[in-house]
Structure 1
Amino acid sequence: MWRSNVRSTFKHIGLVALAVVMLYPLIWLLVSSFKPNDLIFRDLSLIPTEIDASNYTEGWSALTYPFGRYLLNSAVIVLGSLLGNLISCSMAAYAFARLEFRGRRLWFAIMLMSIMLPIHVIIVPQYVLFSRLDWINTFLPLIVPKLLATDAFFIFLMVQFFRGIPRELDEAARLDGCGHIRIYLRIMLPLSTPALATTAIFTFIWTWNDFFSQLIFLTKPAMYTAPVALRTFLDSSGQSSWGPMFAMSIVTLIPVFLAFLFGQKYLVKGIATTGIK
């Protein structure tokens, strides 16, 4: 018994130490956002000797536009991407999980292989296509692909969940005169809340934190998102107003933190119920 208690104690000590190591950069970022600019790298302690809250007011208005504009741009892209993934990926997943059509296994394998494609492979043809459509410096290149079920990971996630729903429910619905559309809307979607919530949370976090694709397609300051706007605090020589930049970094992290905080239950449940199939 005592060996089990000792093992449990060391286990918890190790987990706490690991949590401290992982949280230290975030805590240091928060503390540094309240330090004067000349003390940020000179005083690395987590207890500031001098508090300067002006970093937040300066950072909010330091760029060409108020930082709220960049947060709004990010919110528009996130909302469009989130709705696009929930609708298109769930429809594609229903087709793979419930419909019988020629080449289903082949197309499913091709869809899975697309997960292995890095974005750097497809970014050039995407840019050429969107440039010819005159979509550069609009939100369309970042939203429209989500309406076409281009995120194979979420399709696979929902397929695994749909396959766990008994087919007897489909058969009972057909006896009541339901077609595929009504089965999808009235049976599959209501029962797939964990998978849909997981898709929504991951889409929100990944899109909100996306930097590379937004940097490529949005080059006008008025169209910048929050991650791209944070990059503009740095000049070409690497000098920066570190205090305001750290302050706006904390502001940018708040929505991600809230999304994970309130969606953690659905996130864990969704991953657990789809990973054991």
Structure 2
Amino acid sequence: MTKIDDAAMPAPLATETIVTGRQPRSRRRSAFRRPMTSIVRHTLLIALALAMLYPVIWMVVSSLRPNDEIFRDPSIIPDSFEISNYTDGWNALAYPFNVYMWNSALIVIGCIVGNLVSCSMAAYAFARLSFSGKRFWFAVMLLSIMLPIHVIIVPQYVLFSQLGWVNTFLPLIVPKLLATDAFFIFLMVQFIRGIPKELDEAARIDGAGHPRIFLQIILPLMVPALATTAIFTFIWTWNDFFSQLIFLTKPELYTVPLALRSFEDAQSSTNYAQMFAMSVVSLIPIFLIFLFGQKFLIKGIATTGIK
């Protein structure tokens, strides 16, 4: 038995030396491939990001160039800096540009408040209440997402014209108070369905009704969904041009998109430098909102099941 054991000993030792001799090579190759793959991947991502950001960078650079040099040089390295484009563009229209930004801010605030209040209540009804025709009305609500605004804009204009609301901010704000944005209702319904119903049952045992459950339990837990709704409403309303063009015709009521459109003149030369300068100014609120609300935006979309 001792001879067999002595004879069997060299074999595993030999294999161990072979294995230990091969392992460092494979580890070196994998250790070499990982940083190379990471470098190539990050290089492609940076190149793609620069390609997507090039129009924005070019607009910012063009806002600092003289008007006659904007379309001569497509590079993003300016030869000169014309800061006067911002000061001249601010007062180039019938009213200072802060008037148009204030008008847009009023509409945005009204739309955000309307969507947060009405869409959250409608979402709670669809997610927690039981009523006849619930599935039918939920399907109708989802179908309204596919309905383009161009289909309903004419009936809306006729209705608001008869009410005397044209050339006011009411046609742009009041519909938001009636939960007309089905996308946000669906987003909040998905979020509320992820909240355990045991919380509702515990509150109901304590004597709480639906208003108290909604205000004190569901609503505080819906902060990511509410923040996502507020951010999307801000961006879409701030950039809205079609609806504001239909209902607002007085220059003192113009919003930022309508004011930027006013820089183009079909009868005379357009000052693109001033228009680009005011475009950069109009992008600052959107950039700040997205920068500080990115965490809530990602969390709200990730927790609602919307991919």
User: Which TM-score tier does this pair reach, normalised by the shorter chain?
Assistant: over 0.9
Q: Secondary structure at the match of 1:68?
A: helix
* Matched position secondary structure for 2:304: helix
Larger Rg: 2
Instruction: Supply the AA of the counterpart residue of 1:36.
Output: P
Q: How does 1:84-99 map to 2 (within 5 A)?
A: 84-99=114-129
1:40 to 67, 70, 75: 70
Percent identity between the aligned chains? 71
RMSD of equivalent CA atoms: 1.2
1:35 partner SS = coil
Query: Structure 2: 5+ residue runs without aligned partners?
Result: 1-29
Q: Distance in 2 between matches of 1:109 and 1:47?
A: 53
**Would the aligned equivalents of 2:187 and 2:306 in 1 still touch at CA under 8 Å?**
no
Q: CA deviation at 1:140?
A: 0.2
The AA in structure 2 aligned to 1:83 is V
Give the one of 151, 169, 178 matched to 2:208.
Answer: 178
Q: 1:39 Cα shift?
A: 1.0
Among 188, 192, 196, the residue aligned to 2:218: 188
Pick from 143, 147, 157 the counterpart of residue 173 of structure 2.
143
Q: Gaps (5+ residues) in structure 1?
A: none
Q: How far did residue 7 of structure 1 move?
A: 3.0
Deviation, structure 1 residue 195: 0.3
Cα distance in 2 for residues equivalent to 1:237 and 1:65: 20
Is the aligned partner of 1:213 residue 2:253?
Answer: no
Q: CA deviation at 1:12?
A: 1.4
TM-score, with structure 1 as normaliser: 0.98
- TM-fit CA distance, 1:4: 4.0
Partner residue, 2:140: 110
The equivalent of 2:90 in structure 1 is 60
Q: How many corresponding residue pairs?
A: 277
How big is the shift at 1:43? 2.1
One-letter code of the match for 1:167?
A: K
SS in 2 for 1:275: coil
Q: Cα gap change, 1:157/1:238 in structure 2, threshold over 3 Å: closer, same or farther? A: farther
- Quote the Cα distance in structure 1 between the aligned partners of 2:229 and 2:297: 8
Q: Confirm whether residue 76 of structure 1 aligns to residue 106 of structure 2.
A: yes
> Structure 2 CA distance, aligned partners of 1:195 and 1:141?
26
* Deviation string, structure 1 residues 134-157 (Cα, Å, up to 9, x no partner): 100000000000000000000000
Once the two structures are TM-superposed, the CA of residue 237 in structure 1 deviates from its matched residue by 5.0
Task: Output the TM-score relative to the length of structure 2.
Answer: 0.88
